[in-house]
Amino acid sequence: MLSKKLVIKVNGMSCNHCAETVSNGLKEIKDVKDVKVNLKNKKATIKHNGILNVSEIKDKITDLGYDFIGVE
């Protein structure tokens, strides 16, 4: 199965540790295969197989202490 890509905007990240926290947290979600966080652009690119629940992603970002801005 080919991987799909979803780009989300995240506010509140200020350092590499923040980016790593977001990346590791998102990787815990079912069907997420890889996450690349761009700290400068405040974006996370999520590679996944299947259908992702945006509400689950939003909840995960919020639980980690960051602000989910939306899907790009």
Each residue's pLDDT tens digit, 20-43: 999 999 999 999 999 999 999 999
59 contacts: CB under 8 Å, gap ≥ 6: none
DSSP H stretches of helix in the chain: 16-27, 54-63
Examine the pLDDT at 2 and tell me if it is beyond 70: no
Q: In total, how many domains does the chain have?
A: 1
What confidence score (pLDDT) does residue 1 get? 56
pLDDT tens by residue, 43-69: 999 999 988 999 999 999 999 999 999
Give the global pTM: 0.93
Q: Which domain holds residue 19?
A: 4-45+52-71
CA 65 to the chain's CA centroid: 13
Residue 51, pLDDT score: 87
The per-residue pLDDT for 3 is 81
CATH number reported for the structural domain that contains residue 59 in this entry: 3.30.70.100
The DSSP element (H or E) to which 48 belongs, if any, is strand 43-48
